[in-house]
Amino acid sequence: MPPAYVKPYVKRQKNDMADAEAICEAVTRANMRFVPTKSPEQQSCLMLHRTRHLFIRQQTAAICAEALEVQFPSICQQEPRVLGLHYESADNVQAAVPYIPAAAKSAIDRSALQEATTYLHRGLELLDKLPSSETRDAQELNFRSALGRVYIFGKGWADPSVKHQYERALFLAKNIGNKKDQIPLEWALTTYHLLRGEIHKSIDGGRRVLGLADLADDADFRLVAHSALSIYEFYGGNFTGANDHKNEALRFHRDKSSEELQKTFGTDRRLQALRGAALSHWCIGDHELAVDMDEEQRLRAIDRPFDYTYALTISCIFHSLGRNARMMRSFAESAITIAQDQGFGFLESNAANFRAIALALENPSEATLRGSHDAFEEYRQAGNRMGISSMFGIVAELYDEIDLPDRGLSYVDRALDY
């Protein structure tokens, strides 16, 4: 029976029992029309037609892809997804795969994170169809690295998916044996540990990155390692060490490679070194120098949305050290606006912490401190731990100001636990 003739007899929601009941009811109708069973010859003919249709579709897609590559190379550069789709339709997986990372990169540059995620997952599905080889592993490494970066922008550094992607990529890099491929992956995992509040792991990882950079004798990767360690050492309380790493980072900085490193590592590495140093200089009493460094790291990032949003949150940390509620709130609200527009989930959550703290500093009360607590909990639920002890310390001070020292001491205890 044609399915359309059975449908009117389905009484309830669609499930196997309701369908079976409808079929039994329909088959008893006196005027029901039945479809004759196709003969083996008819089924063979239909199979041939479908096969021919598939072959023509694949052949057409292959011809289109090859014509675009030869006649319109500009389209290949501007719209790599078009070539990837044509080759995928032509069932030429090996030709399709190289265009997918380019399409994902284009989406990342436009902050179209969901689009990039779709491309990269599709690329991994296509790689599953290829036989195991070093070339195939190198392609998966690139997909995993890019997917980890997308998750960082959208979900935040501390999300477990970031660790999963980078650990798999690092495993592949070690199998391939290229030390330089391992450096950005080790760096990503150490930063993941930093955001999880695992400071010792991040410092140890930063030193591994520096060791790999020394083995590779690569000035750019030495810049990456030292700029990262300036932040890691700050959070570890080694302010002098953070400043030393800043000086080393600036020694290896080169303008001509800065843009490419920023694309690979998400932030300007010279500015990253200044961030760790600015925070450290404030903590050891060099306030004027610290203010100059903070202003430089923020203003020089203004043309790059992610870097600038991150720079604003660094300024929030900086002004939280001096309890400057007005500046902290201003920078936090600017960061939240950009983060919401661009989809930078972690940076939005981090900035929301500082806005809540600023509101509590401006008007200490049980209500504003509850608002701070709620913001912290949302931040923690995403796996983030970085900076929590400092935030709890500020809340503890404010509970003391409103004559609730017992609550303040509970936050001191929690801060010490972190």
| Domains held by the chain: number | 3
| Residues 274, 343 within the same domain | no
User: What's the confidence (pLDDT) of residue 379?
Assistant: 86
| Residues 208, 311 within the same domain | no
| Residues 239, 321 within the same domain | no
Whether 322 maps to a domain, the answer reads yes
d(CA 232, CA 49): 64
Whether 63 maps to a domain, the answer reads no
Residue 209: is it exposed, middle or buried by C-beta count within 10 angstroms (0-12/13-18/19+)?
A: buried
The encoded tokens of residue 362 equal 């401006």
Residue 19's nearest CA partner among 9, 27, 29, 33 is 9
Q: Positive or negative CA dihedral for 261, 139, 141, 99? A: positive
| Residues 314, 348 within the same domain | yes
Query: 322: how many CB neighbours lie within 10 A of its CB?
Result: 13
Cα 201 to chain centroid distance, Å, stands at: 20
| Residues 307, 411 within the same domain | yes
d(CA 53, CA 135): 33
Residue 326: is it exposed, middle or buried by C-beta count within 10 angstroms (0-12/13-18/19+)?
A: exposed
Residue 413's nearest CA partner among 391, 399, 396, 394 is 396
Domain that holds residue 15: 1-35
Whether 157 maps to a domain, the answer reads no
| Residues 203, 270 within the same domain | yes
| Residues 288, 204 within the same domain | yes
| Residues 221, 289 within the same domain | yes
Last residue within a domain, chosen from 299, 314, 345: 299
Domain harbouring 265, CATH code? 1.25.40.10
User: What's the confidence (pLDDT) of residue 112?
Assistant: 80
| Residues 280, 211 within the same domain | yes
User: What's the confidence (pLDDT) of residue 268?
Assistant: 87
Whether 169 maps to a domain, the answer reads no
User: What's the confidence (pLDDT) of residue 76?
Assistant: 65
Q: By the 8 A CB rule, do 120 and 104 touch?
A: yes
**Half-sphere exposure for 152 (CA within 13 Å, toward CB):** 24
Whether 110 maps to a domain, the answer reads no
d(CA 246, CA 174): 29
Q: Three-class SS string for the chain?
A: CCHHHHHHHCCCCCCHHHHHHHHHHHHCCCCCCCCCCCCHHHHHHHHHHHHHHHHHHHHHHHHHHHHHHHHCHHHHHHCHHHHHHHHHHCCCHHHHCCHHHHHHHHHHHCCCHHHHHHHHHHHHHHHCCCCCCHHHHHHHHHHHHHHHHHHHHHHCCCCHHHHHHHHHHHHHHHHHCCHHHHHHHHHHHHHHHHHCCCHHHHHHHHHHHHHHHHHHCCHHHHHHHHHHHHHHHHHCCCHHHHHHHHHHHHHHCCHHHHHHHHHHHCCCHHHHHHHHHHHHHHHCCCHHHHHHHHHHHHHCCCCCHHHHHHHHHHHHHHHHHCCCHHHHHHHHHHHHHHHHHHCCHHHHHHHHHHHHHHHHHHCCCHHHHHHHHHHHHHHHHCCCCCCHHHHHHHHHHHHHHCCCHHHHHHHHHHHHHC
Q: Long-range pairs for 394-397 at CB < 8 Å and ≥24 separation?
A: 394/320, 394/323, 394/357, 394/360, 394/361, 395/357, 395/360, 395/369
- In order along its 418 residues, the chain shows pLDDT tens digits of 888 888 888 887 778 888 888 889 888 888 888 878 888 888 888 888 888 887 777 777 777 767 766 677 776 667 777 666 767 677 777 777 777 877 888 787 777 888 888 888 888 888 888 888 888 888 889 889 889 988 887 787 888 899 999 999 999 999 888 778 889 999 999 989 998 889 999 999 999 999 999 998 989 999 999 999 999 999 999 999 999 999 999 999 888 777 778 777 778 889 999 999 999 999 999 999 999 999 999 999 998 888 899 899 999 999 998 899 999 999 999 999 999 988 888 889 889 999 999 999 999 999 999 999 999 988 888 788 888 889 999 999 999 999 999 999 999 999 998 8
Last residue within a domain, chosen from 299, 325, 343: 299
| Residues 291, 194 within the same domain | yes
Whether 192 maps to a domain, the answer reads yes
d(CA 282, CA 396): 21
| Residues 367, 328 within the same domain | yes
Whether 204 maps to a domain, the answer reads yes
Last residue within a domain, chosen from 299, 324, 348: 299
Whether 2 maps to a domain, the answer reads yes
| Residues 282, 331 within the same domain | no
